[in-house]
Amino acid sequence: MSKLTGFFKDVVSEMRKVSWPRRKELTRYTIVVLSTVVFMAVYFGLVDLGISRVLEWYIAL
């Protein structure tokens, strides 16, 4: 049991050392992540649509 208590004390000690982002930084990071996700979803959707059309055209031959 003492090992478990020591582990959690170490966790709390390390968490105090963490540099947490400020509100402005967090907002900026969130916008970057969401815009990247939307861009990648649109990109892969268009690539998938293109490949599907090419395969449909090839099968129809």
pLDDT for position 48: 98
pTM: 0.66
pLDDT for position 2: 85
pLDDT in 10s for each residue of the chain, 61 residues: 889 999 999 999 999 999 999 999 999 999 999 999 999 999 999 999 999 999 999 999 8
User: How far apart are the C-alpha atoms of 28 and 31, rounded to whole Å?
Assistant: 5
Residues across the chain: 61
Do 59 and 51 contact (CB within 8 A), yes or no? no
pLDDT for position 61: 87
Do 56 and 49 contact (CB within 8 A), yes or no? no
User: How far apart are the C-alpha atoms of 43 and 41, rounded to whole Å?
Assistant: 5
